[in-house]
Amino acid sequence: MWRAASFALCFLSSVILTPVAIAEPVVLVSTDGFISVEGELMDFDDNFYLVKTSVGEVRIPVSDVRCEGAACPAPRQIRVVVGTDWAPFTDESQEQGGMMTEVTNVALSYAEGTPEYKIDFINDWGAHLQPLISDHAYDFSIAWFKPNCAVVERLSDDSKFRCNNLDWSAPLFEQNIGYYTRADHPRLVTYKDLFGLTVCRPSGYATFMMEENNLVEPNIVFKRPGKTTDCFQGLVDGTYDAVVLASDTAEGAINEIGAKDKVAFHEHLSQVATMHAVISKTNPRGKEFLAALDSGIRKIKQTGEWFQIVARHMAQHRAKTQ
């Protein structure tokens, strides 16, 4: 094997892909732009180019290069999977499928290279990371919070899986994670003040922000009902001592049960969590597809279109929940 710069050229001996009918000239350029290979494109699959060069036939990983020339195959469609029932972020019943769905859609429409893409709703969040993107049936899943992988030893197995097996797009959105108690509860000074308390966070919601601060059993009693309103109703009636939830989602739940004057928000404990599209580290096109999506995210943030999308969805959500 001959390695040059950031990509590898694999000389073929007995392993030969089925040749295309007519060989045509192409130039394969490394992702950093420093190395190029010229030759005739003999064959192509989703993972490798087979190119006949002046020194022989070489097989080059698709993820390491971009192809230039009329014979270059059309890029494979980028496949994105998203779930529902997470307003205002992803929800089939919302305009454009929710805020994160629209952000991703518009970003991909502006991505460098104008890739073809599709976005499908599959309403089984548990299947998104495994097997749908781990087996490459889809490339991206949206949207997932990124744990603090610098303290991976404190994290749950689910969060460790995200750190060890996923690559992350540029942030799609930032969310403020808030800590709430009853209004008559003593002020929380540090996260340790929650030790010994019964803490609620809805089932299916990421817990890494709590794990980072050792808010795990047996330090706390952890309860996970099905709905955000269940957490706050339980807080008000004394079943739970505290709730951990994104502030925008919490506001809607608190207003829905009419508990605005009964709940205290401990702002100084808030954490910022970022939402991302995720792709499997084993995806052979991962670097290429991440670069494409990130280019689109940068563009819509620079033009202000990202802000317009977010502001519209948040305003619509607040109008429904307040």
Percent of the chain clearing pLDDT 70 (strictly above): 93
Is the bond into 143 cis (omega within 30 degrees of 0)? yes
Q: Name all contacts of 219-222 with Cβ < 8 Å and 24+ positions apart.
A: 219/194, 219/195, 220/194, 220/195, 220/196, 221/197, 222/198
Q: Are residues 167 and 296 in the same domain?
A: yes
Q: Are residues 49 and 96 in the same domain?
A: no
Residue 52 in domain: yes
Q: Give the containing element (helix H, strand E) for 177.
A: strand 173-182
Q: Are residues 29 and 163 in the same domain?
A: no
Q: Are residues 118 and 154 in the same domain?
A: yes
At 2 the pLDDT is: 32
Residue 231 in domain: yes
Q: Are residues 83 and 167 in the same domain?
A: yes
* pLDDT tier, 319 (very low <50, low <70, confident <90, very high otherwise): confident
Task: Give the separation between CA 83 and CA 289, rounded to whole angstroms.
Answer: 20
Q: Taking 60 as the threshold, does the pLDDT of residue 190 lie above it?
A: yes
At 318 the pLDDT is: 79
As for how many domains the chain has, the answer is 3
At 66 the pLDDT is: 84
Residue 73 in domain: no
Mean pLDDT of 306-315: 95
At 75 the pLDDT is: 74
Domain's final residue, options 68, 92, 125 = 68
Task: Give the separation between CA 130 and CA 133, rounded to whole angstroms.
Answer: 6
- Locate 30 and state its tokens: 């490394």
Q: List the single range of 14-18, 31-35, 199-203 with lowest mean pLDDT.
A: 14-18
Task: Give the separation between CA 139 and CA 116, rounded to whole angstroms.
Answer: 13
Question: Which residue did the predictor score with more confidence, 119 or 15?
Answer: 119
Mean pLDDT of 247-260: 90
Q: Give the predicted TM-score (pTM) of the model.
A: 0.74
Q: Are residues 201 and 153 in the same domain?
A: no
Q: State pLDDT tens for residues 40-80.
A: 999 887 778 899 999 999 999 887 888 888 888 877 899 99
Q: Are residues 21 and 133 in the same domain?
A: no
Q: Are residues 163 and 299 in the same domain?
A: yes
Q: Are residues 126 and 202 in the same domain?
A: no
Annotate 106-125 with b (16+ C-beta within 10 A) or e (fewer): bbbebbeeebebebeeeeeb
Between strands 117-121 and 78-82, the pairing is parallel
Residue 225 in domain: yes
Q: Are residues 119 and 241 in the same domain?
A: no
At 87 the pLDDT is: 83
Residue 9 in domain: yes
Task: Give the separation between CA 203 and CA 227, rounded to whole angstroms.
Answer: 7
CATH number (domain holding residue 222): 3.40.190.10
DSSP bridge pairs for 121: 82
Residue 284 in domain: yes
Q: Are residues 182 and 167 in the same domain?
A: no
CATH number (domain holding residue 20): 2.30.30
Q: Are residues 287 and 265 in the same domain?
A: no
Q: Taking 80 as the threshold, does the pLDDT of residue 158 lie above it?
A: yes
Domain's final residue, options 254, 272, 290 = 272
* pLDDT tier, 140 (very low <50, low <70, confident <90, very high otherwise): very high
Percent of the chain clearing pLDDT 90 (strictly above): 70
Domain that holds residue 255: 174-272
Task: Give the separation between CA 44 and CA 188, rounded to whole angstroms.
Answer: 60
Contact present, 84 and 90 (Cβ < 8 Å): yes
Q: Give the containing element (helix H, strand E) for 117.
A: strand 117-121
At 61 the pLDDT is: 87
